[in-house]
Structure 1
Amino acid sequence: MSNTEPLVSVIVPVYNSEEYLPYCIKSILNQSFKNLEIILIDDGSKDISPQICDSFAEKDSRIKVIHQENGGIAKAQNAGLDAAQGEYIAFADNDDILNKNNIEYLLSALQNTGADMSKARWQQFGISHLDDIVRQASRGATSPNTINVFNEPLRAYQTVFSKILRLVGEHTGHNTEARYFNEANWCRLYKRELWNDIRFPEGMYAQDVMVAGKLYARMNKVADVDRILYYWLQSPNSVTHKERSFSFYHDNVVAGIVNFEYALKHGILPARSYYTLVGSINEEATAPDITEPVNQLQYEADLQKKNSLLARLTRHQRMQCAVLHKIRLFEKGIYDRKIKNMA
């Protein structure tokens, strides 16, 4: 390994993932790029995940383990960011799998293009396909033929999110798939300085959405690697799939408001944040605990805030956002059925 290779910090929040954690850690240790600092943050796990972290650390000096009282994924991610020494930052969920060439290809894309962040494609998989995914990841992906670079990532984040329209854009030569990305922090590589004074809000859901606008507005260029380099386990027990409380939906409303206002400030149509805001307020009304007086009051306040934000859009902008919202809702219905049937 060359002494000139930069250090890449890989941050992995860990909580009660004893069944899948070893696969995740092994996929990071197996990276073709070796100059890694692997930070495992045990967020007060109640199973044997802490012992698994310590056992791997005893065998590989690149692993650093942080044990802390349970405080949620945002607190764990922040602890990882505070401890990271690398020039570049990557994240991984504790039950997902990284392709062998993940860091190598993402780093090469950054260095060759001068981008602020690089990203790649991901693949969802069910538990029954775990062994196949592990084998696929360990073989490594073929080298990408080209790296697509685009500017104004905040605009792309807000406007390029409908799968149907992305497919139309691809067929009409607009290269829309390369410009698509969401709030997830995994399957990306960041320049370290992007995270200066940005930390995830602790004690709330949608912590990644909350920082999205500010983070993307800092970037001048993003590089897209057209290869699947990350495998996302679809577990029915994950917060995203099973949480249905009022507070869960309200936190998404708050995140939608923050990014809606941030987009308007930068002169960008807040289409994705419209979808998040309107959809999450509608879901607040379906929460089992909506009947609690404090939640009723908050729901009314959220409705008022939504109306005041939509009033800041022109009629044409509201129409654009509403159309994209309906298209995305249709896509979400298909996506949800696919996930429920993924074993």
Structure 2
Amino acid sequence: MLSIIPKISIIVPCYNVEKYLERCLLSLVNQTLKEIEIILVDDGSPDNCPALCDEWAKKDSRIKVIHKTNGGLGYARNSGLDIAKGEYIAFVDSDDYVDTRMYELLYNATEKEKHDVVFCGLRQETTQQSYNFIRDYDRPVLFTASQMPRLALSFLHKTELNTQTRLFMSVWHGIYKRELIEKLHLRFYSEREVLSEDLPFQIEFFKNAQSVKFIPDYLYTYCLNACSLTHNFKLNKFNAAINLRKLLYNIIPNHTDASYFIDIEFYGRIRYLLADLILANNISFKEKQKFIRELCKKKEWNKLNISQGYQEYTWKYMKQYELLKANRSTCLTLFILFDKYINKRNFKNLFKKQKTYL
């Protein structure tokens, strides 16, 4: 029977995922930790998700349903946060699923709520029964308050606290103490206005956390669904990336590496967005050329503090920055085409997951 205060509130935004919702919910209702609440946020989904959410709520008293007009992933999570009662908060994307032991293992790892957040590893399902395994640390690791400013920067770039690359930034592979979220009045930005709704949330939370733990278990499965891959592209993502850079400068404490970490992370996003733009099926080549010409004229390129990148990355990685800075839009377009179509060694990297939610 559900206790008055659930140990974990699991927030699940739902949008256009009718095909995957049952798989996700079966992995949640069958958790070995029973003292949970599951908050389904129907974000104005155009498919059968609203009715499915209501049907599941009738089957399990731990399930709550919110129906709202479409506002995007970040705002859908906020709607769940507004009613959550759990000691900890978890987030799950509704086309993914989790190990049935996930929340028991994460909650037990808090050591009686000693830690503000606990993260686990994850599997990326690229095809059915084929996985990439991702985790930040190969053994349990604990960080304390004095390390938090540096650990927050580790979401942007590798630091001495990382064993591999930068920390995996998505919020859905951990549980967060709700008391701290509410104390900070912490909510998600709209991903339509600020690209990557997870990154500002993580940094704000970590800046104020006292104790953070990582466990190595692969408990979350992140699905690269065939129907989630899309070559449609929204041009406003570039402005959303610029807005993210501005926001990070406002929320990250001044530090020796902060400026470089923010700017190299921003430049990396621009590279991926340019590749996605070139591959887009919904935009004509003439429109792409016009947009890239206007993009090259932006003042941001001369302001970036990424000179250190020449010591860390290949010449090819930095070449696009030189072309952007020099306002050479035609050369930039040709360089991307050469890199992604002729130099096929890196072509597979383009197929990043684009959630059906977006």
Task: Give distance in 2, aligned partners of 1:283 and 1:226.
Answer: 28
Whichever residue aligns with residue 200 of structure 1, its letter is F
Aligned pairs, how many?
A: 305
Provide the rounded CA distance (Å) in 2 between the counterparts of 1:321 and 1:265: 20
With over 3 angstroms needed to count, the CA separation of the structure-2 counterparts of 1:210 and 1:237, relative to structure 1, is: farther
**CA pair 96-10 structure 1, distance change in 2 beyond 3 A:** same
Contact 1:257–1:277 (Cα < 8 Å) also in 2: no
Structure 1: runs of 5 or more not aligned = 133-143, 162-168, 311-317
Q: CA–CA distance in 2 between the matches of 1:307 and 1:67?
A: 45
Cα deviation 1:96-121 (Å, max 9, x = unaligned): 11111111111111225822111010
Give the conservation status (yes or no) of the 8 Å contact 1:250–1:281.
no
How far off its partner does 1:75 sit? 1.5
Residue 148 of structure 1 pairs with residue 141 of structure 2: yes
Q: Tell me which residue corresponds to 1:258.
A: 247
Matched residues in 1 for 2:240 and 2:127: separation? 29
Aligned residue in 2 for 1:313: none
SS at match of 2:154: helix
Corresponding position of 1:136: none
Kindly state the Cα deviation for residue 214 of structure 1 after the two structures are TM-superposed: 1.8
2: CA distance, partners of 1:328 / 1:108: 46
How is 1:220-231 mapped onto 2 (pairs within 5 angstroms)? 220-231=210-221
CA distance, structure 2, for counterparts of residue 149 and residue 282 of structure 1: 34
Are 1:274 and 2:263 an aligned pair?
yes
Between stretches 218-227 and 271-280, larger displacement belongs to 271-280
1:73 & 1:306 partners in 2: Cα distance? 29
Letter paired with 2:55:
S
Counterpart position of 2:233: 244
Mapped partners of 1:176, 1:6: distance in 2:
34
Query: Is residue 176 from structure 1 mapped to residue 174 from structure 2 by the alignment?
Result: no
SS of the residue corresponding to residue 172 of structure 2 reads coil
Whole-angstrom distance in 2 between the partners of 1:261 and 1:328: 31
Q: CA RMSD in A?
A: 3.6
CA contact (8 A) 1:16 1:46 kept: yes
Q: Contact (CA 8 Å) 2:156, 2:265: kept in 1 or not? A: no
Cα distance in 2, alignment partners of residues 120 and 327 from structure 1: 35
Deviation by residue 1:83-108 (Cα, 9 ceiling, x = unmatched): 11111000000011111111111111
Q: Following TM superposition, by how much is the alpha carbon of 1:182 offset from its aligned partner in structure 2, in angstroms? A: 2.5
Q: Distance in 2 between matches of 1:214 and 1:76?
A: 19
TM-score by length of 1: 0.75
Equivalent AA in structure 1 for residue 203 of structure 2 = G
Task: Kindly indicate which of the two structures has a greater share of residues assigned to helix.
Answer: 1
Gap runs ≥5 in structure 2? 132-136, 278-282, 319-344, 354-358
Identity of aligned residues (%): 28
Report the 3-state secondary structure (helix = DSSP H, G, I; strand = E; otherwise coil) of the residue aligned with 1:200.
coil
Helix, strand or coil at the partner of 1:278: helix
Aligned partners of 1:159 and 1:270 also within 8 Å: no
